[in-house]
């Protein structure tokens, strides 16, 4: 049985009880004993050292320590338990931490990869297959791991027709047949990972997931805390997750944000919706030409055509600007209404899944919408179906 040294800045008794169903758990004496144990180890013969934190660690954990924490919202915390047992976690929090630990110590067998801005720089559906730039470092690592027996699974929120030509490029290190499974659609990646696990007859704890977007990583951890989640720039950590000797691998999987809503709140997103201005005509025209995925009618305009539409009596023409703590995204969406219907509704792909769709729709009075399906605008169709119910 796997032997785990469990350390924490609070009592580990309840968490240890949750883990003892599957592991031999050794606890450091006292809630403050974890610091001494990290600095001067006295407990030997353990396969893994796990530090389950409530606050911040008083010392830098040594390499190889698995560091986990539970989200701070009410679902995972219970201050009554803190008073009674010096353990702040609710039952959901204990199960969450146990899942994170279980995933960290499990042998990883599958590497699940996002595509856009992960395996290549750029967006296949917006920039085109010829314009994206392969990320050869990550692709080479994935190829190496695949040759060593790791299974590759593709998880891309995309249109299959946009992605297929990318694999035919000669400068791609990975090829389409390197993947045992691919899910290229508009389903949640966490759901598609479940489908992949079922097909491969593996537990989700066997998966490593790599995605450039913090939002997608947060959503995966929210659904599957047992999955090891990394950004594409963590090549050494990704490689370490697949080392055969679990006792020696570095497996620190602390999630900065584990819930999608919590992540969005930390971004400090600010939006501004107003009637289109003359200085925005060129940007609106550019967005009409480039946006495919969230474009309801794919009407393509010039700046002069935008000017004429805006000046048409009875037309409501609004633009949406967005900014967050990382910077100003600028004008990322617009909508046009006439005759009591929204005739055009467009959002840049970089602004999707931030709540802007709903904000702009409501700013337009939640009117009925025109929609024309294309091979590329599945995200727009999904939103159209939601608001048309």
Tens of pLDDT, residue by residue over 255-305, are 333 455 666 676 788 999 999 999 999 999 999 998 888 999 999 999 999
Question: Residue 103 falls within a domain, yes or no?
Answer: no
Q: Alpha helices of 25-151 — where are they, by DSSP H?
A: 33-39, 79-85, 91-105, 124-127, 136-147
Tens of pLDDT, residue by residue over 55-106, are 887 778 887 788 888 888 888 888 888 888 888 899 999 999 999 898 888 8
Q: Are residues 209 and 252 in the same domain?
A: yes
Distance CA 341, CA 314 (A): 11
Residue 196 parent element (H or E): helix 189-200
121 pLDDT more than 90: yes
Beta bridge partners of 369: 342
Terminus-to-terminus CA distance in the chain, angstroms? Answer: 53
Question: Residue 336 falls within a domain, yes or no?
Answer: yes
Which residue range forms the structural domain that includes residue 190?
A: 110-266
Q: Are residues 72 and 121 in the same domain?
A: no
Q: Pick from 103, 85, 107, 101: which is nearest to 51 by CA? A: 101
Question: Residue 185 falls within a domain, yes or no?
Answer: yes
Q: Are residues 283 and 377 in the same domain?
A: yes
Q: Are residues 296 and 228 in the same domain?
A: no
Q: Are residues 118 and 177 in the same domain?
A: yes
Question: Residue 303 falls within a domain, yes or no?
Answer: yes
**Domain-ending residue, one of 98, 125, 160:** 98
Q: Are residues 227 and 281 in the same domain?
A: no
Q: Which of 114-128, 182-196, 339-353 has the lowest mean pLDDT?
A: 339-353
Q: Are residues 310 and 256 in the same domain?
A: no
**Domain-ending residue, one of 246, 266, 286:** 266
Q: Pick from 249, 72, 64: which is nearest to 51 by CA? A: 64
Q: Are residues 11 and 142 in the same domain?
A: no
Task: Answer whether 274's CB lies under 8 Å from 319's CB.
Answer: yes
Cα 158 from chain centroid (whole Å): 15
Distance CA 99, CA 97 (A): 5
Question: Residue 66 falls within a domain, yes or no?
Answer: yes
**Coil, helix or strand for 127?**
helix
Q: Are residues 279 and 366 in the same domain?
A: yes
Q: Are residues 285 and 365 in the same domain?
A: yes
Residues whose CB falls within 8 Å of the CB of residue 244, separated by 6 or more in sequence, listed in order: 107
Distance CA 106, CA 101 (A): 9
Q: Are residues 62 and 128 in the same domain?
A: no
Q: Are residues 249 and 153 in the same domain?
A: yes
| pLDDT value of position 263 | 60
CB atoms within 10 A of CB 52: 25
Angstrom CA distances, 310 to 88, 281, 316, stand at 56, 9, 8
The DSSP line for 199-231 is HHT--GGGEEEE-S-HHHHHHHHHH-TTSEEE-
Question: Residue 54 falls within a domain, yes or no?
Answer: yes
**Domain-ending residue, one of 222, 247, 266:** 266
Question: Residue 104 falls within a domain, yes or no?
Answer: no
* Overall domain count for the chain: 3
Q: What is the CATH number of the domain that holds 213?
A: 3.40.50.1000
Question: Residue 105 falls within a domain, yes or no?
Answer: no
The confidence band for 254, taking pLDDT boundaries of 50, 70 and 90, is very low
Top mean pLDDT of 2-11, 189-198, 218-227 is at: 189-198
Q: What is the CATH number of the domain that holds 347?
A: 3.40.630.30
């Amino acid at each position: 049985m796997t032997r785990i040294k469990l350390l924490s800045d609070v009592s580990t008794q309840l968490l240890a009880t949750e883990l003892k169903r599957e592991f031999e758990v050794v606890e450091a004496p006292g809630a403050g004993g974890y610091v001494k144990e990290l600095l001067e180890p006295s407990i030997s013969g353990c396969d893994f050292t796990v530090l389950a934190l409530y606050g911040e660690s008083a010392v830098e954990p040594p390499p190889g320590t698995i560091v986990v924490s539970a989200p701070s919202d009410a679902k995972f915390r219970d201050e009554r338990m803190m008073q009674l047992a010096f353990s702040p976690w609710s039952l959901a929090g204990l199960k969450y931490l146990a899942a994170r630990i279980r995933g960290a110590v499990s042998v990883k067998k599958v590497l699940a990869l996002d595509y856009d801005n992960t395996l290549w720089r750029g967006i296949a559906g917006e920039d085109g297959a010829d314009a994206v730039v392969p990320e050869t470092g990550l692709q080479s690592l994935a190829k190496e791991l695949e040759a060593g027996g790791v299974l590759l699974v593709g998880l891309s929120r995309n249109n299959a027709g946009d992605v297929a030509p990318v694999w035919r490029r000669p400068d791609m290190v990975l090829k389409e047949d390197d993947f045992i499974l691919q899910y290229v659609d508009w389903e949640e990646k966490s759901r598609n990972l479940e489908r992949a696990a079922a097909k491969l007859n593996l537990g989700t704890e066997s998966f490593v997931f790599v995605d450039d977007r913090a939002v997608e990583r947060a959503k995966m951890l929210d659904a599957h805390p047992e999955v090891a989640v990394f950004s594409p720039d963590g090549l050494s950590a990704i490689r370490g997750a697949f080392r055969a000797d679990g006792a020696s691998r570095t497996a620190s999987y602390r999630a900065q944000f584990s819930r999608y809503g919590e992540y969005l709140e930390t971004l400090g997103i600010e939006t501004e919706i107003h009637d289109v201005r003359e200085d925005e005509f060129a940007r609106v025209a550019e967005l009409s030409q480039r946006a495919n995925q969230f474009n309801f009618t794919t009407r393509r305009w010039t700046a002069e055509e935008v000017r004429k539409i805006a000046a048409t009596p009875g037309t409501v023409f609004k633009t949406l600007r967005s900014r967050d703590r990382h910077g100003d995204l600028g004008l990322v969406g617009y909508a046009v209404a006439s005759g009591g219907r929204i005739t055009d509704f467009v959002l840049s792909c970089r602004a999707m899944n931030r709540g802007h769709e709903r904000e702009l729709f409501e700013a337009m009075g939640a009117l009925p919408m025109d929609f024309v399906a294309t091979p590329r605008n599945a995200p727009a169709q999904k939103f159209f179906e939601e608001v048309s119910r």
